[in-house]
């Protein structure tokens, strides 16, 4: 098993990423609204300005989305990375996102079944 963490820099692309991941067999994803150190520093410095060209909400409230999922094998990690870059572009470019994966030494509760025999997230 492997854990995947993806920080999506453009929240507007979330549904597209989730659909792409679903196409390759990823069934469960945890989604968290997040922000990073750089954006926090910008927010703090903008608060000290007395004149803003844009309304504060448009400048200060932008964040990103962090996705977590566990997958069965390294091959699915690689397919997930390829699909992600197909959607958002080269992750080595600025403002695209960050993709990480690592092996899990243990995982429990990932494949639960309801009483009707259907898998639950």
pLDDT (tens, 9 = 90+) of the chain, 121 residues, equals: 999 999 999 999 999 999 999 999 998 999 999 887 665 555 555 555 545 554 544 444 568 999 999 999 999 999 999 999 999 999 999 989 999 999 999 988 887 765 555 555 5
Distance between CA atoms of 80 and 76, rounded to whole angstroms?
6
Please report which residue ranges of the chain form alpha helices under DSSP H. 14-23, 37-47, 56-60, 74-88
The four Cα atoms 31, 60, 13, 26 give a dihedral, to 10 degrees, of: -20
pTM over 0.85: no
């Amino acid at each position: 098993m492997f854990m995947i963490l993806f920080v999506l820099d453009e929240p507007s692309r979330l549904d597209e990423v989730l659909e792409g991941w679903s196409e390759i067999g990823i069934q469960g994803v945890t989604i968290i609204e997040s922000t990073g150190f750089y954006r926090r520093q910008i927010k703090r410095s903008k608060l000290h300005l007395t004149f803003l060209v844009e309304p504060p909400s448009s400048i200060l409230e932008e964040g990103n989305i962090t996705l977590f999922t566990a997958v069965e094998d390294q091959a699915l990690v690689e397919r997930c990375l390829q699909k992600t870059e197909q959607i958002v572009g080269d992750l080595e470019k600025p403002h695209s996102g960050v993709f990480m994966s690592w092996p899990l030494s243990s995982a429990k509760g990932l494949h639960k079944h309801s009483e009707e025999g259907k898998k639950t997230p």
